[in-house]
Amino acid sequence: MDFLRPASWEEALAAKAEHPTAVPIAGGTDVMVEINFDHRRPEYLLDLNRIGELSEWEVGQEKVRLGASVPYSSIMDHLRAELPGLALASHTVASPQIRNRGGVGGNLGTASPAGDAHPALLAADCEVEAESVRGTRLIPIDAFYTGVKRNALEPDELIRAVHIKKADGPQQYSKVGTRNAMVIAVCAFGIALHPETRTVRTGIGSAAPTPIRAKEAEDFLNAALEEGGFWENGKIITPAIVKQFAALASGACNPIDDVRGTAKYRRHAVGIMARRTLGWTWEQYRGAGRTLEGAA
Ligand SMILES: Cc1cc2nc3c(=O)[nH]c(=O)nc-3n(C[C@H](O)[C@H](O)[C@H](O)COP(=O)(O)OP(=O)(O)OC[C@H]3O[C@@H](n4cnc5c(N)ncnc54)[C@H](O)[C@@H]3O)c2cc1C
């Protein structure tokens, strides 16, 4: 196995163009596991660790441009206000050691349906900045996940950054696992309220072949909130609306039975998480100290 160590982004792109099968390595928390277990023996590893800009971020007017290798611990420490959903999701990743090494670029590279960044990215709305020697393109997050552990990157492309919409309202992330740390999600749910556009977006993890949005649930809720004037009057969302939102979120799942949980349990748990996270975010939106009617 050859180890390619580009000193700049341009060198990395050139190396990837010359060796399209080269496997990029950032934090290595997925790549090294695969190599150690002999699941993968790439001809070339492309080490991105000398490229400092991949670990930097910029906070703009409307978006955060998050370098592909910014570790989860930095998102938690520095971007909690701008990216609250992703910061909460980062908290649930593995252990401090893994959070210091792993980042969103690696999560996207692996594109596991159980990756914790995905529901938060889907709910917040973002674009993946992919680049090759041929040029740069922004891939909408909805088009990024193409199959089980598959993504929309071309063989010569690398992820440079992720452009994530800054929060304009409350966001939440909920994850079911067998314990509170060092656990891959049985299933997960992200939600983001976008009062500026009067929309709610969602993301579901580990309950379908790819990370997905609960689009029907979103459409239903967005129409119900609009019709009831909820964004203006800040009233408690009625139990019937909450129930239907949760049922539609549950119905969006297409899970499997596996060692972590059954399909039936995952569907059920996603409905519960949808109801709870809607309750938490809406309560935050309308003011502290109030609770969502009917939500237990
Ligand atoms: C003990 C343990 C616990 C874990 N727990 C969790 C957990 O709770 N939640 C969770 O979501 N994940 C978990 N993971 C998985 C892993 O930590 C995450 O997926 C992490 O985000 C990977 O980031 P990384 O930088 O280490 O990626 P790497 O391992 O370096 O790379 C991962 C993949 O992305 C590709 N890649 C990396 N950077 C780029 C780039 N710039 N452009 C294109 N492709 C790129 C690589 O080629 C590879 O295919 C765990 C891993 C371990 C070892």
Which CATH number does the domain housing residue 251 bear? Answer: 3.30.390.50
Does residue 291 register a pLDDT over 70? no
Indicate whether 140 pLDDT > 90. yes
Domain presence at residue 184: yes
Distance 25 CA to ligand 1 centre (A): 9
Gyration radius of the chain over CA positions: 19
Which residue matches tokens 């982004």?
9
Residue 290 has pLDDT above 70, yes or no: no
Ligand 1: which of 1, 16, 21, 30 to mutate, most ligand atoms within 8 Å of CB? 30
In a domain, 159, yes or no: no
pLDDT in tens, 169-208: 999 999 999 998 899 999 999 999 999 999 999 999 999 9
**210-242 tens-digit pLDDT:** 999 999 999 999 999 999 999 999 999 999 999
In a domain, 201, yes or no: yes
CB 285 within 8 A of CB 170: yes
In angstroms, the Cα distances linking 52 to 73, 162, 206 are 16, 16, 32
Would residue 72 count as lying in a domain? no
By CB atoms closer than 10 A (0-12, 13-18, 19+), residue 109 is buried
Q: Kindly state the average pLDDT of the residues 142-154.
A: 98
DSSP bridge pairs for 202: 191
Ligand 1 centroid vs 16 CA: distance in angstroms?
A: 19
Ligand 1 binding pocket includes 46 (Cβ within 6 Å) = no
CA of 184 to the centre of ligand 1 (A): 12
116 lines ligand 1 (CB under 6 A): yes
pLDDT in tens, 6-22: 999 999 999 999 999 99
Which domain CATH number covers 10?
3.30.43.10
Split into its structural domains, the chain has a count of: 2
Tell which one of 49, 93, 128 to mutate to probe ligand 1, the residue whose CB is within 8 A of the most ligand atoms: 93
- The reply to whether 211 falls in a domain is yes
Position 30 scores a pLDDT of 98
Q: What is the pLDDT of residue 181?
A: 87
Tokens of 251: 């119905």
- Write down the H helix ranges in the chain: 9-18, 31-36, 72-78, 84-91, 96-101, 104-110, 117-124, 215-227, 230-233, 239-252, 263-286
Residues spanned by the domain of 23: 1-47
Tens digit of pLDDT for each residue in 15-52?
A: 999 999 999 999 999 999 999 999 999 999 999 999 99
In a domain, 94, yes or no: no
Asked whether residue 295 carries a pLDDT value surpassing 90, the answer given is no
CA of 159 to the centre of ligand 1 (A): 13
In a domain, 149, yes or no: no
Q: What is the pLDDT of residue 200?
A: 98
Residue 188 lies in a domain: yes
Ligand 1 contact via 242 beta carbon (within 6 Å): no
Mean pLDDT score across all residues of the chain: 96
Q: In whole angstroms, give the CA distance from residue 292 to residue 280.
A: 8
Which atom of ligand 1 lies nearest, measured to the CA of 110? 33
